[in-house]
Each structure stands twice: as C-alpha cells, then as structure tokens.
Chains A and B, each alone.
Chain A
Amino acid sequence: MTEQIPVLECRNLCISYFTRAGEIPAVVDFNMRLMPGEAQGIVGESGCGKSTVALAIMNYMGKNGKVVSGEILFEGRDMQKMSEEELRQLRGSRIAMVYQEPMASLNPAMLVGDQLAEVPIYHEGVSKEEAWNRARDMLAKVKLPEPERILNSYPHQISGGQQQRVVIAMALLSGPKLLLLDEPTTALDVTVEASIVDLIREIADESGTSMIYISHNLGLILETCDRITVMYSGEAVELGDVDAVFDMMRHPYTRGLFGSIPLPGADKNARPLVSIPGQLPLPHERPRGCNFGPRCDFFKAGVCDAAAIRMRQVRGSGPGHWSRCERIDDIDWDKPIAEGVSREITAPGDVVLKVDNMTKHYEIEESALFFSGEKKTVKANENIDFDAREAETVAIVGESGCGKSTFAKVLMGLETATSGNVQLGNFELGHLPVQKRSADTISKLQMVFQNPFDTLNPSHTVGSQIARVIRKFGVESDPVKVQERVLDLLDTVKLPRDFAKRRPRQLSGGQKQRVGIARAFAGNPSVVIADEPVSALDVSVQAAVTELLMDIQAEHGTTMLFISHDLSVVRYLADRIVVMYLGQIMEQGTTDEIFSPPYHPYTEALLSAVPIADTHVKKRRIVLEGELPSATNPPEGCPFSTRCRYMIPGTCDVTPPPLKQMSAGHRILCHLTDDELNAMEPVIVIEGAPSEKKEVRRKRKSVAQGAGSKAKTQPAAKRAAKPKAASPVKTTAKDKPSRSK
C-alpha cells in the first residue's frame, strides 16, 4: 500500500462525561485508522461507547461530554484544535452522519426539500433553485420513487424507510469524505433494513467514501465493512479485518458474543447457545485491569486485574489484527467454547392449541361526541389456521403490522375473534373475552412480554407481583405457601431469593425479563406466548434468557408460541414456523421446510434480509422494493403482490391466492405453480467445514450467486469479482454443522 493520509485517525482517544457523580469515562484509549474508501465497523452492546465515538468525531458531545486526552485527526488535522467555524464547514460537507431514528432526525416543521437544499446552500453557496435540483437528483440516486413529491412533503408524510433514505441523501449531498452511520437500520423492519444496507453498500462502492458503521449487529457489520472494532465497556477489545476477526477471534468477549448469537447450525437441543455470565459493568464500577475480567472464563487473578490492559498484535493473523487480552498467548483458541448443556428432546404430544380459520377485523371509527366519522375496516387477522402441540415451539414470524400482536390479543382474550375458532384443549376461546374466562383457563394461557422496562409495575415489589398471580390463579391462597411458591419461582428463573423484596428499578433488563417469565409460569400454564421476549435485550443477555425460557419449557412440557421478527432466533429454537404478512399466513411448516425451498416469495425475501454473522454463510440477495401497504387498505388479491418479484399481473393483484399443500404440514399461500415453487434455490448456503476456514475466507470475496429468473440478485460480497462457482453444499437448516467440532 502506498502511504496515504488516513481520512480519520483516532489516537489514544479518551472521552468522559462529567456529571454530578463526577467524571464518567465513556471511551478509553480508542484507536482507529480509517483509510480512504475503507469501511470500518464498530460493534458492541449498549453502553459500550460506540455512539460516543461517533459524536466525538463530529465534535458534538453536549455540554458535559469532553475529549479528555488523545486526538482525532481528520485528514491529518486535529479536530480538537479547530475553531467553531472550521468545524461547521467540515460538518455536513466533509463529514456527514446518518442517525438511528430517521423520524426524529428530520425537522417535523420543514419540507424535506428545504432540509436537503440547506446543505448545498450553506456549504457551496449555490442558489436555492440549484440546491433543489441537486436535492432532487440525490433523491433519485438513493432510489426514492417520485423525488418531486417527496421534496414537497413533510417528514411525517413518508414512511420510515423513505425517511432514512432522505437522511442518507442529505448526508451525501456534498460528497463527504467520511460517512458516519450510527445504527442506521435499527429502527426499521428487516426487509426495509436489507434494502437500506444494500443502498449503503452501493454508495460506498460508487463514491469511494470512507464509512464508519456503528451497529450492535455482527451480521450487518460483516455485510458492510472491511474492518471491525469490537468494543466492550468503553474500550476497543479487538480490531482487525472483518474476515480475520470473524474466523480467528482472539478476545474472550468477541468469542462470547459469537457464542451467544444463534448462527445457522446452532441447535437448541444438541448445541444450545452459550451465554456470557454476568452483566455489563456500569461505567463508574468498572473493574481494575480487564473490564471483561469478571465475566471471563480465562480470568487469572494477578494477571488480568493487575493494570490496564494494552492492545496486542495477534500473531499468525493478518496485519492490523489487535486484541486487548493479556492472556492472548496462553489461551487455546482452537478449543471450542464450553458447550451449553444439551437438552433432552421432548417429542411433541397432542394438539393443545388449535386455531381454526380465525379472522379478526377492526372497525376504526374516527370518533367524536355525537359524530360518527367514516368507518374503516382493518383486516388485522385473516383466516389464521394452525395448531400447536404439547411441548412444541411454534414461531410466528413477521414484520411490524403483520398482525402478530392482534393474534396474541385474541388468544389472551383482550379481543374476540370476528369469525373462526380458537381452541385450547377442547375449550373454545376465540369469542370469550378474558373477563368471562375462568381463572383456570386464564392460567393455562400466559404471556411473556417484549419490553423488559414495561413488563413489571415499577410501584410494586417483584415478590408481590408474582404473589398476586399465584393468588389470582388460585394456585395457593395461604400466605406462607404463596411466599414459598414465589421463592420457588425465583429459583426456577435463577434469580436470588432476596429479589422478592426488590423493586423493578433495581433490576437489569435481563433480570426483569426473568421475573416476567416467572410470572408467566406461576400458574403452570399449558401454553405460553412469548412476544419477542429478548429483542430488547443486549446480545450477551439474550442468550441466557432464551436458554432459560427453553429450559423451563422443556421441563414443564409447555407449548410455546414464540412471536418474533428475527429469523435467526426462530431458526434456532422453533420446531415449526408460521410466516405472516399483512394479517395472513403466507407459509407454514417445520423449521427445515421453511428454511429450504420451496419458499413462499415473502419467506424467500425475509430469509435473505436477515444478516448472518458467519463468514461461511452465503446468501442470495433479494431486495424487496416498495413499502409495506397499510392494513386499512390492503392490496386486492395477494397481500404481498405489491412487493413480490414473481408477481403475475392480472392474477396476483386481483385474485386471492390459493393455499397450496406442499407436504403434510407445509402450506404456502401463493399463485405460483408447484413447479415454479420447487425450482427455487436455497437462500442461505453454508459453505465448507471449519477446517477449510482460510480457503473459504478467500473465496468469500469472489463468490456470487446468480439465481432466479426474474430475480434481482446481487453479489454476495460487496467488492465482488466475477461470479465463480464455489459448488455450494446444499444444506438445510439443521443438519449441517458450521462452527466448532
């Protein structure tokens, strides 16, 4: 490589926040060298300091944040020494940023066009007309349909995906040298996320802009970046080329992180996830020495906690692979991480829950006193038809607005079905609101909620909230026995018994979710609905809670309905999967059936959209165009017809699709013929065995998969060379080991 000036260089950067409690170090000893055209990823859990780094680069840290030491060099100039005016000229023109929440990032009271035009007007002094023209061109470049209409809209009049494209367009308007992306897709649905990621990648390829991509999602980093920095508790713990780090992790935290995300090949029974024990330390309670020490399996007193740990170069890896581990040479990195305890496979029993052609329509009436507005019908659920057996896990997958929450409400009795039946055992529930259900029925069907910060009432102690359930369901009534049962339940969810006296605010997110699980299992339910129970938790905590949930389920033989948008988790833990879109079931079948062809076109797109943090996995890229239609005004015919790439005009957009029985339990709602469906190629392919690691790594960059007749396919690796046959081993979801062993 020739000697180039890095676009951005952070040297021994330390950033602190100054609060009433004193100085809180947010980022310690952070180093980064970003070369022109390079894309670097920063990955870490919440509170690790990754966003602080981005804001420090922008020199925007609020009044209590400050760079304490070290320097940030932009094209060789120290940003700390720049004047306000110099900074202003850099911001938005040489360095631009894309934010996590597009809606909040745009001014609600200004036209999109005005907000975009400001950039060239203030940085290049062009006329207003010229600025609008540039804005229009840029909107077309970020693939927004009807740029003119969007320019003349207010932000709330366009969808979330479109808003994010506007923010990206705003960032690109003056051709920045450096683009900072702070979790740009976290607030979006999976399929929208995939299209935005695709756009970002294209931009990087085309314009040669350097990027810093901040995310908590390892898979996304793999898809977008060249280099990666893993951060933990304010420090970079490992950094290097993406492939090097992914295939040759040299820090226990990085390894732990990978161990706790469900990758294809993980199996809930044979190879459960391994969670990282403990919790993230609070910024002012960081331990001496290695921050990860207290949670590390390789912790050695006197070595790891002696002094601050320095970064070391990893031997035997590519250049620029560093790790902040004192014992890097002592640890046997080839030995797999301690495996989770495997579970006995419980065979599914009788049908416990039977949903038969259930339909739920809402009438929305714009109400005002004495006036009835026009009525609109929301078809929240349309002909839902499936059943769940004892001890089985059935996952319901779909994006926002697909009707999964409504479905849960009908089951729980907060809504009643418009037509069709829901049977628990032999008992009809669909038309029985919760007030009319007996305590026994209610206790048989319980729920674990999504948001850990909402799931417990902040005003009551943990113990009293569990006790209330026990009494309400008539499990026990004697106060002494109720208390005993509360403590038993806390044992079951592996929480200390003295938590009974605590209030929810004294608990971490994961602990709250455990209490939520204890509460759901208090009445010995036969069916538990888990509504995205781990999606709001940090990655390293997710695994522990997921495992706990499944342990208890296996122990009690409970049926679990697992509602999720995350196909990786679903693939890992579900026996059967129901894919929903706009209130209808598009496809259902066993996990293997869903993850291998034939697919429903929507399932195919969904599978492709989920980022997977494994260099051995190759995906066919299918990017969905357009936006999710509104449930109040669903398309005629097939609900997916507006975005489907196999759409047959005159059929799909007019006639409702037929339900095809592919095999015993595998059903697809689609107009395509069996032949067309069977001709589909697998979306996810796992390449090679781990022994061929290096071989594979090199190949990854040069492999692309062309498939599908009308398919808009794109190279899997972003700086792709010519497509070259890599003879992918065709696999199904679970029968192929990928990592370890």
Chain B
Amino acid sequence: MKLIGRRLIQMILILIVASIILFIIFDSDTFKMRIALAELGNFGVSAMDPDDYKAWLVKKGLDIPFYQRFALWVGNVLQGDLGWSFEKNTAVGPLLWAALKNTGILAFWVFALMVPLSLILGVLAGMREGSRLDRSISFISVFTTSIPEIATAIILTVIFALGLKWLPTKSAMISGFDGWQLMLPVMTLVLYDFGYVARMTRASMAEVMTSQYIRTAVLKGLPYRRVILRHALRNALIAPFTVIVLQLNWLLSGVVVVEVFFEYKGFGKLLLEAALFGDIYVVQACTLVAVIVAVTSQIISDIGYTFLNPRIRFA
C-alpha cells in the first residue's frame, strides 16, 4: 500500500511538471503570435506595429509574468474553464467533452474486441512454444502489427467500403450515431494493436511454461488443465495486464490517424485540426487531457500489477 501511495504522489508530480512544460510551450512568443493571428486574422496582425501588438497583449492579459498566468490558468482549468476555440468559436470545454465521448465509444469497442482476442491467441501460442499454431499466430501478429494504421485503414476502406460497398467510407456521423460507421475505425485499431498484445502474452506465457514451478506442478501429477488454468495463467497474465492498461496511452496516439482518416469526430481529430489551425487553447486542453488519461492508466496498471503479484503485494 505504501508503494502505491508513493507511486500516486509520483504520478501527481509528473502531472504537475507535464502541465508546466505544456504551459511553457504554449506561453512562448510563437504561440502568442498565433493567438493574435487566430483572433485578428492575418491582415489584422500585419497591420499592427510592435506597440499595438504590446497593447493587444496587455488587453489579453498575456503580458503579466509567467507564474501568475500559470496560476490563473490552473485556477480556470480547475473551474472547468478551458479557454475559447477561435476556430469553432465556442468554449473549449463542451467541445472537448463531446469529442472525448466519441473517442470513448471507439476505445470501448476496440478494447472489447482486442483484449479477448489477443489474450486467447497469446495464451494458445505460448502454451506450446514452437508448435505450428504458435508459429502461425506469431507470424500473423508480426504481420498485422507491421502494417501501420494508415495502411490498414486504406486497405480496409478499399476492400469493404470502395470495393464491396458493405460499409461507409467515412465515419463523420453527420445524421446521428451510426454503428456501421464505427466498424472500419474499430477494425483498423484492433487489427493494428492486437498483435502487439498477443505477442506480449505469448512471451509471458511461454516464459511461465518453461519455469520450474510449472515443472513442479506437472511432476506433482496434476492434470494438464489444472496446470494451465491454476498455475500458468495467473502468473502469465500479470505482464499482459499492465500492457493492456497502458494501451490506453497508445490508443490516444492511434486514434489521431484513424479519426482523421475516417473523419470521425473524436479527440484525435479535434487535436489535429486545432494544431493545424493554431487553435491554441484547444491544443492545450487536449494535451492536458491526454496526459491525465495516460497518467491515470499508468496508476491503474501499477495498482493492478501490485495487486496481481503477491511478491510485491507482501513485500
């Protein structure tokens, strides 16, 4: 428990430092200028002389010292005020919330399919290392992981949307939520990610199967099922568990491409569009959320690991 407490405090520290770093980046002159560009337009800025620009900064409250602005910003964030989107001309909070909800739906289905698929394949492959089943599973997983999401998305679109015309090409969901439109993005992400988790599970399972305590269990005369279910699985699934939880972090990267490609209105698309447009507050808010999600998943993975592994739990 002490260990978890210490990890928690460390994570909070990471969060604070990460947000300071973010703030430093977004507080740079480059970004201040971009805010001006976004608000006043290209022409407006080029018409200003340095003094006007300074006056504008004062007006916006961007001239006061860094730490004051940071404190102010933290205060605002804690109150739920994440700033204003110049591009969409709306408050960032609701915008981000809607996008996160969409990404949440996507992530849920990805995990719901990917976790059982990769665990089963991984365990099957690792159970009998070197068997034909193992080699086929291993090869398939290297193969699918090697095709980047962008390529998977293309291939799936060409086959299922353009060729067979079974599924829609885009997932913009203009006329309300549509499950069909969700299928291609989910398939893309699952195809790309399951191989990695399956390989981790396989490696972990294979290692456990060669361990001496499995030998002890077999030579104790236990039935094979019991050896696998009671002795091997518990130990073999500790490592994949942490990996799976940490995939949340990866998913936040993965969704960017997929959401952009399929025009799915989620977190990734919001972030990218804001970044390209120079919509600073949106980028800042998205990044902060991403870091919070990532750090939280790390905490969950740590706690889970500690809980699953008696060697640490009672250390």
Contact = CB atoms under 8 A, between A and B. Distances in A.
Interface string B229-254: 01100110010000000000000000
A369 B130 CA distance: 44
Interface stretch (B39-47, B208-216, B270-278): B208-216
B219 A63 contact: no
Contacts of A88: 221-223
Nearest to B222: A122
A89 B219 CA distance: 10
Nearest to B214: A107
A117 B231 CA distance: 14
Interface string B193-226: 0000000000000000001110111111111001
A97 B219 contact: yes
B314 A157 contact: yes
A92 B220 contact: yes
B217 A123 contact: no
A109 B6 contact: no
B221 A154 contact: no
A371 B226 CA distance: 44
Interface stretch (A32-40, A98-106, A137-145, A723-731): A98-106
Interface string A153-171: 0101100000000010010
B233 to A, nearest CB: 10
Give the residue among A97, A105, A109, A156 with the most B Cβ atoms within 10 A: A109
Contacts of A104: 211-213
Contact of A154 (B211, B215, B223, B311): B311
A544 to B, nearest CB: 32
Given A107-B231, A109-B235, A369-B10, A91 B218 contact: yes
A542 interface: no
Contacts of B230: 110
Given A105-B212, A106-B213, A154-B310, A119 B219 contact: no
B158 interface: no
Contact of A109 (B10, B226, B309): B309
A63 B206 CA distance: 13
B13 interface: yes
B221 A63 contact: no
Nearest to A107: B213
Contacts of A92: 219-222
Given A108-B235, A368-B6, A371-B6, A119 B220 contact: yes
B314 A105 contact: no
Contacts of A123: 221
Interface string B5-38: 0100110010000000000000000000000000
A674 to B, nearest CB: 46
Nearest to B315: A156
A668 interface: no
Interface residues of A, number: 33
B310 A60 contact: no
A108 B221 contact: no
Given A109-B309, A122-B226, A154-B311, A99 B216 contact: yes
Summarize A's interface: helix, strand, loop or mixed: mixed
Contacts of A101: 212
A90 B220 CA distance: 9
Contact of A110 (B130, B211, B231, B315): B231
A539 interface: no
Contacts of B308: 109
Interface string A120-142: 00110000000000000000000
A93 interface: yes
Interface in A68-105: 88-93, 96-97, 99, 101, 104-105
Interface in B281-315: 308-311, 314-315
A445 interface: no
A118 B230 CA distance: 11
A181 to B, nearest CB: 13
Interface in A150-192: 154, 156-157, 167, 170
Given A109-B310, A154-B314, A369-B10, A122 B223 contact: yes
B215 A60 contact: yes
Given A92-B219, A104-B212, A109 B130 contact: no
Nearest to A88: B221
Nearest to A122: B222
Residue picked from B219, B222, B226, B238, most chain A C-beta under 10 Å: B219
Given A104-B212, A369-B13, A170 B220 contact: yes
Contacts of B212: 99, 101, 104-105
A58 interface: yes
Interface in A44-81: 58, 60, 63
A636 to B, nearest CB: 26
Contact of A107 (B6, B10, B235, B315): B235
Given A91-B220, A93-B221, A368 B213 contact: no
A118 B10 contact: no
Nearest to B238: A109
Contacts of B235: 107-109
A108 B216 CA distance: 12
Interface in A334-380: 368-371
User: A97, A105, A156, A167 — which one has the most chain B CB atoms within 10 A of its CB?
Assistant: A105
Contacts of B310: 108-109, 154, 156
Given A63-B130, A109-B310, A154-B311, A118 B213 contact: no
Contacts of B311: 108, 154, 156
A92 B226 CA distance: 14
A368 B10 contact: yes
Contacts of A370: 13
A60 B219 contact: yes
Contacts of A91: 218-221
Nearest to B218: A60
A738 to B, nearest CB: 39
A99 B216 CA distance: 8
A264 B78 CA distance: 79
A122 B213 contact: no
Given A118-B222, A157-B314, A105 B213 contact: yes
B132 to A, nearest CB: 13
Interface in A680-722: none
Contacts of A110: 230-231, 234
Contacts of B231: 107, 110
Contacts of A93: 221
B81 to A, nearest CB: 31
A101 B212 CA distance: 9
Contacts of B220: 91-92, 118-119, 122, 170
Contacts of B309: 108-109
A101 B219 CA distance: 15
Contacts of B221: 88-93, 119, 122-123
A97 B220 CA distance: 8
A104 B215 CA distance: 10
Contacts of A371: 6, 9
A157 B315 CA distance: 8
A608 B130 CA distance: 49
A104 B210 CA distance: 11
A300 B97 CA distance: 90
B105 to A, nearest CB: 35
Given A88-B221, A92-B222, A118-B222, A106 B10 contact: no
19 contacts: A58-B219, A88-B222, A88-B223, A91-B218, A92-B221, A97-B219, A99-B212, A99-B215, A99-B216, A105-B212, A107-B213, A107-B216, A109-B234, A118-B220, A118-B226, A119-B221, A122-B226, A154-B310, A369-B13
Given A63-B130, A109-B238, 16 more contacts: A89-B221, A91-B218, A92-B220, A105-B213, A105-B215, A105-B216, A107-B217, A108-B309, A109-B308, A110-B234, A122-B220, A122-B221, A154-B310, A156-B315, A167-B216, A368-B6
Interface of B: 6, 9-10, 13, 130, 211-213, 215-223, 226, 230-231, 234-235, 238, 308-311, 314-315
User: Nearest 3 A-B pairs (CB), nearest first?
Assistant: A92-B221, A91-B221, A92-B220
